[in-house]
Structure 1
Amino acid sequence: MKSIMKFIAPKQIVRLWIVLLLSGLSMVTFSTLSNAAALGDATGGGIVFFVDKTGEHGLIAARQDLPGHSAGINYDGFFTWKDAKKGCENLELNGFSDWFLPNKEQLNQLFAARVLVGGFGGSDYWSSTENGSKAAWGQYFLSGVQYSGTKTHVDRVRAIRSF
């Protein structure tokens, strides 16, 4: 390094150092801004409802409940647990196909952000968390109470994806 500096005048070294420093700072700032996600952002095919402490990862909820219904059910939007899980895994929405049924904790986070996300029916929603072989956890979206219900019971479904 010493031999290279012999050929560069001191003023040129200072100018080069300043240019490199400023270039590096602007790249860091740009990179940070481009990856930031905030609660309520409409991105990634839905609405951001959870962001981790780093700000780089989080969860996105579909804007609407899963369409359709389980066979033999006359009410649109209601699924057995098995059909709810399969429906989320097969969902292709807004250019994304990596949707899934939220687990019990993620569903509770979604409940906490329900006003921010919007579009929820005043009913029960399934989680992917099982409670034995014949039951799974759900949550009442009027009260926030989580419960264990039989997998043949029908509830609403809101798909989520991670980023």
Structure 2
Amino acid sequence: MKYKDISTQLRHFKHRFWNSQNLVLLIGLFIALSFIWGSLETMQANYARQREIDLKQRQLELATLQRDNLSLERRYYQTAEYQELKAREALGLVQPGEHVLILPPSSADEDSQTRSGLSGVVEPSNFEQWVNFLFGGHHRRITSEEAS
């Protein structure tokens, strides 16, 4: 009995779903999906090619800029001004009216000492600055200095 029920159900399924309209619909759906799949593959390939083209264009632009930079550098090295500077630097020559001034080497400690020695004003601490800001002591100190 079960076999007959299954066979009748199968016949009903075939009769209901495997008709010519559904077959045409499935073929159309397959064609549409294959068209979409092909379009996506084409778009992906075009995107990859465009990225390669953009990379090559950037490399070309970089090479062009480097070439232009090198040509400008070469032209600068050929100028009389550069040749004179290099000769003066290499041979220690000076132009008429110039005087060479040789200074002793200075260290960073000496520079910081001379800078701190020049500024005779003592800055108040952070706490004092806050107290002056909050309670107006800075204003009173300025007015008392102006009065004296």
TM-score (norm 1): 0.28
Higher strand proportion (structure 1 or 2): 1
Higher helix proportion (structure 1 or 2): 2
Larger radius of gyration: 2
Q: Which has the higher contact order (CA 8 A, sep 6+)?
A: 1
